[in-house]
């Protein structure tokens, strides 16, 4: 095999520049263009960053062609089968699987931080009752910097660590309270005798008037949903967290920016949009009509839960999610669910259809997650908040990695300007 070139040569306008190349531990080589502007007086143009590595990272690797997702090298399907959410949190944050003692210590630290500052309760009450829970989450998480001053100094590694633990611990409480507020029920405080997923379910579904026992199969399914969403390298919301944090903004403000980005239907909002689409299709016989719309260039409709910027094969998380959907619906006795039938048939047809095959459009993680969450009793408006609370560990791990990186700089892209050139101001009466 020929040696990899140490440099790439770029020729333009009769000139040529030698650019250094870097090899990752896995994946395609990278042309280092950092000196391009200084030495060549040109920029690169890459809207959507389809060919741009924005940072170095050791946390998560995706092989989009093979449909593989690795956290610190461990495949997601092995983690989904053998691990659990808080262990994956430890792995993402610290780089290695914990020993039994390390895990116990980590779980204790997270568990001890699940309560919110009591004053935050009044902050929730300032929202309209019909506010979307994501709107509440963006506001409340941003406001955390006003409540936890002692963990906003990003130059102090200990404060960064405390902020990370606080965020992972408190996000389920924030998401559950956003839900409780929207349905007019009293807030349920965290119960530290329960595990992370069961505690979240309890805060969402318990009421003071009745006992609520968390079904272990449901809490396992919840834990798995959290695990499958924990991190996904430099996706839009994670890149937003990094960009916001690159200016030195505190971690709570940076994560609030990530939550805002996640909300969109092309990203985390797709799970809500997907279930709404499946319900709109309604019955299996209407699927061809929607497939035809998805293929029609003049129709903006897209099959929600299909396609991915990186995966050009099955999203490995979708496979695990599909298994979980079958388990949860069987447990709840809703195997005959019409929406699940539509989902399965839609998936079957799309996977055989030339349009989807040629464009390599496969189901993504959002395709089945909504069906499970709905069967568990969550309204569609809670799907994206659950994604947000699960992704918090990924955001904060990536943020911590960035802050500790000696090469870190404020994120500041350039542009391909196509507007007017310099021109003189025209007095209003002369326009």
Tell me the closest approach of the beta carbon of residue 224 to ligand ACO, in angstroms.
15
Q: What angle do CA 274, 276, 281 make, to 5 degrees?
A: 95
Sequence-distant (6+) residues with CB within 8 A of 264 are 236
Of the pair 347, 366, the CB lying nearest ligand ACO is at 366
Tokens 């990695």 belong to which residue?
A: 401
Distance CA 202, CA 210 (A): 12
Of the pair 163, 261, the CB lying nearest ligand ACO is at 261
What torsion do the CA atoms of 266, 315, 168, 59 make, to the nearest 10 degrees? -110
Q: Which residue is nearest to ligand ACO (CB)?
A: 307
Tokens 């390298």 belong to which residue?
A: 233
Tell me the closest approach of the beta carbon of residue 22 to ligand ACO, in angstroms.
24
Contact 67, 311 (CB under 8 A): yes
SS3 assignment, position 207: strand
Of the pair 205, 383, the CB lying nearest ligand ACO is at 383
Residue 267 is among the residues annotated as catalytic for this protein: no
Catalytic residue among 195, 231, 315, 366: 366
Of the pair 152, 397, the CB lying nearest ligand ACO is at 397
What's the DSSP call for residue 332? T
Of the pair 348, 359, the CB lying nearest ligand ACO is at 359
Catalytic residue among 71, 132, 232, 308: 308
Report helix angle 157-182 to 196-205, nearest 10: 30
Residues that bind ligand ACO (CB under 6 A): 266-268, 270, 294, 302-309, 359, 361, 364-366
Question: What token pair was written down for 101?
Answer: 């003692």
Tell me the closest approach of the beta carbon of residue 198 to ligand ACO, in angstroms.
24
Tell me the closest approach of the beta carbon of residue 136 to ligand ACO, in angstroms.
21
Sequence-distant (6+) residues with CB within 8 A of 215 are 331
Of the pair 289, 429, the CB lying nearest ligand ACO is at 289
SS3 assignment, position 74: strand
Give the strand pairing for 68-71 and 30-31. Answer: unpaired
What is the separation, in whole angstroms, between the first and last Cα of the chain?
67
What pairs with residue 75 in β-bridges? 70
Distance CA 217, CA 262 (A): 28
Tokens 């003189």 belong to which residue?
A: 424
Tell me the closest approach of the beta carbon of residue 405 to ligand ACO, in angstroms.
25
Question: What token pair was written down for 329?
Answer: 């619906």
Of the pair 146, 266, the CB lying nearest ligand ACO is at 266
Residue 117 is among the residues annotated as catalytic for this protein: no
Tell me the closest approach of the beta carbon of residue 350 to ligand ACO, in angstroms.
9
By CB atoms closer than 10 A (0-12, 13-18, 19+), residue 110 is buried
Tell me the closest approach of the beta carbon of residue 373 to ligand ACO, in angstroms.
14
Q: Which residues are catalytic?
A: 308, 366
């Amino acid at each position: 095999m020929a040696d990899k070139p140490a440099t790439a040569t770029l020729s333009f306008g009769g000139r040529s520049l030698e650019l250094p190349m870097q090899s990752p531990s896995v994946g395609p080589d990278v042309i280092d263009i950092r000196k391009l502007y200084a030495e060549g007086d040109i920029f690169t143009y890459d809207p959507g960053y389809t060919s741009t590595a924005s940072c170095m990272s050791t946390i998560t690797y995706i092989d989009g062609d093979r449909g593989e997702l690795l956290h610190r090298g461990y495949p997601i399907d092995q983690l989904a089968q053998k691990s659990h959410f808080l262990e994956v949190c430890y792995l993402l944050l610290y780089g290695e699987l914990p020993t039994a003692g390390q895990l116990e210590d980590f779980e204790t630290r997270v568990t001890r931080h699940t309560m919110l500052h009591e004053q935050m309760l009044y902050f929730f009450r300032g929202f309209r009752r019909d506010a979307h829970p994501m709107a509440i989450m963006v506001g409340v998480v941003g406001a955390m910097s006003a409540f936890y001053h002692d963990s906003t100094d990003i130059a102090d590694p200990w404060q960064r660590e405390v902020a990370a633990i606080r965020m992972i611990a408190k996000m389920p409480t924030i998401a559950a309270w956003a839900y409780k507020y929207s349905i007019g029920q009293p807030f349920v405080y965290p119960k530290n005798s329960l595990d992370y997923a069961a505690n979240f379910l309890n805060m969402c579904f318990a009421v003071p008037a009745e006992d609520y026992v968390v079904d272990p199969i449901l809490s396992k399914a919840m834990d798995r949903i959290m695990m499958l969403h924990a991190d996904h390298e430099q996706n839009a919301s994670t890149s937003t967290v990094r960009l916001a944090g690159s200016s030195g903004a505190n971690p709570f403000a940076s994560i609030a920016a990530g939550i805002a980005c996640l909300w969109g239907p092309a990203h985390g909002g797709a799970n809500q949009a997907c279930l709404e689409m499946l319900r709109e299709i309604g019955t299996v016989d209407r699927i061809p009509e929607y497939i035809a719309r998805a293929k029609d260039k003049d129709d903006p409709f897209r099959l929600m839960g299909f396609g991915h910027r990186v995966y050009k094969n099955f999203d490995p998380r979708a496979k695990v999610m599909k298994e979980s959907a079958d388990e949860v619906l069987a447990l709840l006795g809703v195997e005959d669910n019409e929406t699940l039938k539509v989902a399965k048939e839609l998936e079957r047809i799309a996977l055989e259809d030339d349009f989807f095959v040629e464009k390599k459009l496969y189901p993504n993680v959002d395709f089945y997650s909504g069906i499970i969450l709905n069967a568990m009793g969550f309204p569609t408006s809670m799907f994206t908040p659950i994604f947000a609370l699960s992704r918090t560990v990924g955001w904060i791990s990536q943020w911590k990695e960035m802050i500790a990186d000696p090469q870190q700089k404020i994120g500041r892209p350039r542009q391909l300007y196509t507007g007017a050139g310099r021109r003189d101001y025209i007095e209003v009466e002369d326009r």
